[in-house]
Amino acid sequence: MRILRYIAFAIAIVWMFLILWALEYCSIHGCSGPNGNNIDGFLPAFALAPIGVPALIWSLVISLRWAWRKLSNAPHKS
């Protein structure tokens, strides 16, 4: 189960990196929108969306459960 968690984290990180890379590319070179020719920077992120979105959601759920478990077991200050 841990290997699946690590794979999901890796896919989510790569997918978010592709989105951020495309945003950075568009902020430097300028994207003209869906009707222009410069929207190609987002194509790798869109191509991996069926894999990236579930991996990102699953990674967030795992991280939130881990954080909730750590916080609930923490000693309380009085």
Q: How many domains, the chain?
A: 1
Mean pLDDT, residues 43-62 taken together = 80
Mean pLDDT, residues 28-36 taken together = 64
pLDDT at 42: 67
- Rg of the Cα trace of the chain? 18
Cβ-contact 42, 17 below 8 angstroms: no
Contacts of 12 (CB under 8 A, 6+ apart): 52, 55, 56, 59
Mean pLDDT, residues 20-36 taken together = 71
Domain residues for the domain of 57 are 2-72
Does residue 51 fall inside a structural domain?
yes
Does residue 64 fall inside a structural domain?
yes
Residue 55, both tokens: 């991996």
pLDDT at 37: 59
Torsion of CA 12, 37, 33, 40, to 10 degrees: 0
Q: Chain-wide mean pLDDT for the chain?
A: 76
Does residue 53 fall inside a structural domain?
yes
pLDDT at 35: 57
Does residue 26 fall inside a structural domain?
yes
pLDDT at 5: 81
